[in-house]
Chain A
Amino acid sequence: MSDENDFYRFTGTKGYIVSRPLVEAVNCAIALERPLLIKGEPGTGKTLLALNVAEGLGLPMESWHIKSTSKAAEGLYVYDTLQRLNDARFGEGNVGDIRSYIKLGPMGRVFTAENRHVLLIDEVDKADLEFPNDILRELDEMRFTVMETGDEVVARERPLVIITSNNEKELPDAFLRRCVFHFIEFPEPDLMNQIVDVHHPNLDSKLLDQVLIKFYWLRGQPDLRKKPSTSELIDWISALLRSGITQDQLDAHIPFLGSLLKNEQDTAAMSEFEERGGRMPNSWSDLGPRYNQ
């Protein structure tokens, strides 16, 4: 490993709890100078990871949020033809210089920047199926040519590229081959404890235990159409705290269900369960062997 890469070694930040395999994957991507592809359930903090890697490494970050209409070329540069046409028509601006109408995109800005950046390509699966293939060469060689001027843009400092995907589309094999891959698993209760602690420090540990038991029980229901995620748990705890709920009130009832379940069938199924007098778990041992090894 080169000295320079030793210098960039990610170990996590205060506000973001990472699992060890994730740290390994990040450092692996840094050492190999490969893009890091992050997948995982929604709400497991894929986008936040890039922010925190940048913070942890002390590097500036540039993000490129992908939409269904995004084109690969937009990340490099956009040639603003309409503006030029308009300027030409009304005799404004520097029409003679095509360069003043070349606007660099996030990738182009990172390449031309003086210092090393973290480049986040967020939700790459939102774009067209061919999108990842279109940025392959740029990610590999870290260079591109501006067609209109013939200028070649070469990255001064190879950025650390972090790509997130929600799995809405399959990514092409050629693209995957170039990436280091990490799948953010849903946190186990121990890790979840730490995560909650970051967001809600000083939470009563008994209350937290009850909250987590209910949460994991709910997630464990096989018929749930949309499982609540970490970010929903954090919101739910905020709601509980604001209403000043006590541990006893949590025993037999889940208040503010709406912040956990976002699907009407799920909510209906839950209230039916409560009306039938279904028993909710009060201890980890009620949740079955998976949580009681």
Chain B
Amino acid sequence: MFLDLFYGLRDEGVPVAIQEWQMFMTVLERGMHDTNLLSFYSLAKATLVKSETYFDAFDRVFARVFHGIEGEFSASDELMDWLNDPKNFEGLSDEQRQALENLDADELMRRFLETLEEQDERHDGGGRWIGTGGHSPFGHGGEHPTGIRVGGRSERKSAMKVAEDRRFKDYRTDVGLDIRNVKVALKRLRHLTREGLSDELDLPETVGETCKNAGEIELIYRPERRNNVRLLLLMDVGGTMDPYYEPVSRLLTALHEERGLRDFKAYYFHNCIYESIGTTADLYLKDAVPTGDVLRLLDSRWKVVIVGDAAMHPAELMNPRGNINPRYESETRGIDWLLRIQDHFERVVWLNPDPPTDWEHTRTTKAIKSIFPMLPLSLDGIQDAVTTLVGSRPSAPGITRH
């Protein structure tokens, strides 16, 4: 059953290795879980899972593997353990404690059910049987988590309840984007070089030079290491992109707040890129600049991220004068502009907010996907995009290394 957990986690893509598993086994051997499923659950989580993004997967697997175990754990064993531990009765008089110890589990359960029937209004605290914040093993929010839970808001939930709650859904990386997550992903967008003003003391050189100088101190400075990544963002706005306003604006905010980049420029287009491109998101003609100028001004080292759904009428991509916007005359086909961009820059990625399952069903998406590496606009997708932009260059197809 434990191995089911291990392989279940691996199947869900949680990176659990032998090392973590051994750690978990050591904990179990030492009996740290006190035969308590909730402890077992939190210890398994602490030793096996190393990122909150996997908590959701862990909860799902745990609930699946240990489904139905809870009864055995909690009904009698746990209750007796609880009763046998004098620590749980701090604040009770010896007599009260004695009275409690004289009850066996069945009796306790029976009383519990009786009390539950008798009691019809809620109360908190106090020495009566069921309520919150009291010392009774029944109720919730009390001093000890192993008590039988009667319902109500509580942090002391049973392990199965906690697992089934799946409160960590929010942290799944394949689902949503928040600005902070995106920033974390973008932090990796860097390529450190030493260029520019020398303002950092270079110690090894200083020592070396000082020695050469017969002990007369010679201070040597060098430029600080700095990020050398320049990023060009080309963004599809309006129309079919409207439903994706939130994730796209979060990406944009994160990029604008990203101070680590050497340079950052953003341009906007509608559906596809043609002769001119907007400097503002509302695409006013007067703010547009020729796309050719952009290509001329930015050298091939600029990393390019294009955000768009790539879904349009085939004519918009494949025909001359395909621009859907009547304010523009564009003789060159959209696809040629895309090919020019691909040729000009070393690294380009296309982020598509549409779900990847839809990509194969749209002709234009398929065509554009054959030009640029296309990735989904999710946290995982952005991370992959960053790797594509700054990671080591994948070897060209057809060339194999020996």
Contacts and interface: CB of A to CB of B under 8 A. Distances in A.
B50 A177 contact: yes
B50 A181 contact: yes
Contacts of B183: 168
A293 B156 contact: no
A134 interface: no
A188 interface: yes
Given A81-B203, A168-B187, A180 B42 contact: no
- Chain A interface bracket (under 10, 10 to 19, 20 to 34, 35 or more): 35 or more
A37 to B, nearest CB: 7
Contact of A225 (B46, B179, B215): B179
Interface string B179-200: 1100110011000000000000
Given A20-B39, A32-B23, A167-B184, 6 more contacts: A20-B145, A31-B27, A169-B184, A176-B50, A188-B153, A293-B151
B115 interface: no
A103 to B, nearest CB: 15
A283 to B, nearest CB: 13
Nearest to A19: B155
Interface stretch (B13-21, B270-278, B365-373): B13-21
Contacts of B167: 185
Nearest to A25: B46
A182 B46 CA distance: 6
A170 interface: yes
Contact of B153 (A81, A82, A182, A291): A291
Contact of A177 (B17, B206, B215): B17
A1 interface: yes
Contacts of B52: 39, 183
Interface string A57-100: 00000000000000000000000011001101100000000000
Interface string A154-197: 00000000000001111001001111111101011111000000
Nearest to B161: A293
Contacts of A292: 153
Contacts, number: 98
A1 B46 contact: no
Contact of A190 (B46, B141, B215): B141
B394 interface: no
Given A20-B38, A173-B15, A189 B46 contact: no
16 contacts: A1-B31, A1-B32, A21-B45, A24-B32, A24-B42, A31-B27, A81-B203, A81-B206, A85-B206, A173-B15, A177-B17, A177-B19, A180-B23, A181-B46, A190-B153, A190-B155
Contacts of B38: 20
A133 interface: no
Nearest to A36: B46
A24 B153 contact: no
B46 A180 contact: yes
B116 interface: no
Nearest to A39: B52
A137 B39 CA distance: 30
A48 interface: no
A24 B26 CA distance: 14
Contacts of A190: 141, 153-155
